[in-house]
């Protein structure tokens, strides 16, 4: 059974998308998963919650999922204040006032205003365009206004002798307030995911997830399963009970990311990859050489990140008994949980540097 808490978190995320991108509200399954991960949730509970949210949804995977009508209905009315409240009452009043003016001018049957025209009028009246777009989207979602191909009109006939009350007049002074604490908690994650739609950054904030999306462009689509399995095992490895496993898996991902960009770098003629260290088959390449080459002239890794990677490599050598005999003439100290946690952080940082480099040297 899906966790009500995680379902509620993702519902709040979809609601938050209205305030962040009112003309493109909703979140795709991929975006919902990403927000769940950024919120510290595990794969299983995220997937269960998404299935609960989308069980009545039969659209394409990349289609945005909208918040349930019964959950958003009250948001489109100003009767109840919210805490925090992201709605601008002036924008709501402006939408109603303009449509009422259209009714007086053109009659109820013909009263309509293009959405972009109404927004420009609001801007001219000193109301931010974003606030007006939020008001329109919420009023459409709550069934007060219809938006057909960018043309707005009231959904139902007017009442009270032809005069509709302005939304702000319906607000109950002094409360009660509807808490939006969960929406606030997830708001930053939603903003990050929505901005990734257009700013050129990878769709996944998690660099290990984002690198998987680069494998096909690099010509290694067949390795997606291996990458996902290795990254998944690392995320599930407990640094307290299995610190060595976490360290080995993190080093494998660092080595993998650097190995899989060598051929791309050689095609581009980038000097660090033309070294004879990489003339032979990839199975003979050494992680030490990969890190050193990536850090040459800070091409991919800066000096601080190289130092971290070198530390990870040294720690990873604990899998070799011969290295232990050489490095520790006396008793071998235990591998500490904080070293295992650092290993995951180092893998994230190195792979993020690789992604940044790929962004500058397009794989498209």
Pick the most confident of 38-52, 119-133, 264-278. Answer: 119-133
CB < 8 Å & 24+ apart, contacts of 155-161:
157/108, 158/100, 158/103, 158/108
- Model confidence at 200: pLDDT above 80: no
Tell me the average pLDDT across 52-73.
73
What are the angstrom distances between the C-alpha of 203 and each of 190, 227, 254, 355, 356? 12, 17, 20, 12, 13
CA separation for the pair 243, 226 (Å, rounded): 21
pLDDT, tens only, 338-364: 888 888 889 989 998 999 888 888 755
Whether 272 and 357 have beta carbons less than 8 Å apart is answered as: no
Instruction: Average the pLDDT over 27-45 and give the result.
Output: 87
Q: What mean pLDDT is predicted for residues 24-40?
A: 89
pLDDT value of residue 236:
84
pLDDT surpassing 50 at residue 201: yes
Q: What is the spatial distance between Cα 13 and Cα 37, in angstroms, rounded to a whole number?
A: 13
pLDDT at residue 28 above 50?
yes
| pLDDT tens figures, 64-100 | 898 888 888 888 888 888 999 999 999 999 999 999 9
Q: How far apart are CA 234 and CA 45, in angstroms?
A: 18
**Least confident residue range of 18-22, 68-72, 110-114, 331-335:** 331-335
With 90 as the cut, is the pLDDT of residue 20 above it?
yes
The CATH code belonging to domain 87-178 is 1.10.10.10
pLDDT at 206: 80
257 backbone dihedrals φ, ψ, rounded to 5°: -60, -40
Q: What pLDDT, in 10s, does the model give residues 104-152?
A: 888 888 899 999 999 999 999 999 999 999 999 999 999 999 999 899 9
Going by pLDDT thresholds of 50, 70 and 90, the confidence category of residue 59 is very low
Q: Which residue has the tokens 């299995």?
A: 242
Quick one: average pLDDT of 15-36?
Answer: 92
Where residue 57 falls among pLDDT bands split at 50, 70, 90?
low
Per the DSSP assignment, residues forming a β-bridge with 154 are: 145
Please report where in the chains the tokens 């998308």 appear, as a residue. 17
**58 pLDDT band (50/70/90 cuts)?**
very low
Residues of the chain with CATH 1.20.120: 207-360
Residue 8: pLDDT band by 50, 70, 90 thresholds? very high
Cβ proximity of 67 and 18 under 8 Å:
yes
Beta bridge partners of 151: 114, 148
Higher-confidence residue of 134 and 292: namely 134
Average the pLDDT over 232-261 and give the result: 90
pLDDT at 133: 97
The pLDDT mean for the chain works out to 86
Q: How far apart are CA 231 and CA 347, in angstroms?
A: 10
pLDDT at 162: 58
- At the top level of CATH, which class does the domain 207-360 belong to? mainly alpha
Residue 10's CB is within 10 A of a number of other CB atoms, namely 28
Q: Where along the chain do the CATH 1.10.10.10 domains lie?
A: 87-178
> What one-character-per-residue DSSP string does 98-125 give?
HHHHHHHHH-TTT--EEHHHHHHHHHHT
């Amino acid at each position: 059974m899906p966790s009500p808490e995680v379902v509620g978190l993702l519902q709040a995320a979809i609601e938050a998308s209205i305030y962040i991108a009112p003309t493109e509200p909703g979140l795709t399954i991929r975006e919902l998963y990403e927000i769940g991960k950024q919120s510290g949730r595990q794969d299983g509970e995220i997937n269960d919650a998404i299935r609960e949210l989308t069980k009545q949804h039969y659209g394409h995977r990349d289609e945005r999922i909208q918040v349930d009508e019964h959950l958003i209905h009250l948001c489109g009315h100003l009767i109840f204040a919210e805490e925090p409240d992201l709605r601008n009452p002036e924008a709501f009043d402006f939408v109603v006032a303009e449509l009422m003016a259209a009714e007086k001018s053109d009659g109820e049957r013909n009263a309509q205003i293009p959405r972009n025209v109404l927004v420009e009028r609001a801007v001219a009246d000193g109301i931010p365009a974003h606030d007006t777009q939020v008001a329109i989207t919420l009023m459409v979602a709550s069934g007060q206004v219809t938006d057909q191909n960018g043309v707005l009109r009231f959904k139902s006939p007017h009442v009270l002798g032809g005069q509709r009350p302005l939304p702000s007049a319906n607000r109950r002074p002094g409360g009660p307030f509807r808490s939006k604490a969960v929406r606030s908690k997830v708001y930053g994650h939603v903003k990050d995911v929505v901005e990734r739609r257009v700013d050129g950054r990878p769709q996944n904030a998690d660099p290990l997830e984002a690198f998987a999306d680069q494998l096909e462009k690099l010509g290694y689509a067949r390795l997606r399963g291996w990458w996902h399995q290795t990254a998944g095992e690392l995320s599930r490895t407990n640094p307290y009970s299995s610190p060595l496993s976490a360290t080995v898996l993190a080093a494998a991902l660092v080595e993998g990311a650097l190995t899989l960009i060598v051929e791309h770098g050689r095609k581009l003629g980038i000097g660090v990859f033309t070294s004879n260290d990489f003339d032979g088959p990839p199975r003979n390449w050494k992680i030490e050489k990969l890190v050193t080459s990536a850090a040459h002239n800070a091409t991919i890794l800066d000096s601080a990140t190289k130092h971290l990677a070198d530390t990870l490599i040294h720690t990873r050598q604990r899998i070799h008994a011969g290295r232990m005999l050489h490095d520790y003439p006396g008793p071998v100290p235990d591998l500490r949980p904080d070293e295992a946690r650092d290993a995951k952080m180092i893998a994230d940082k190195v792979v993020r540097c690789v992604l940044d480099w790929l962004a500058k040297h397009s794989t498209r």
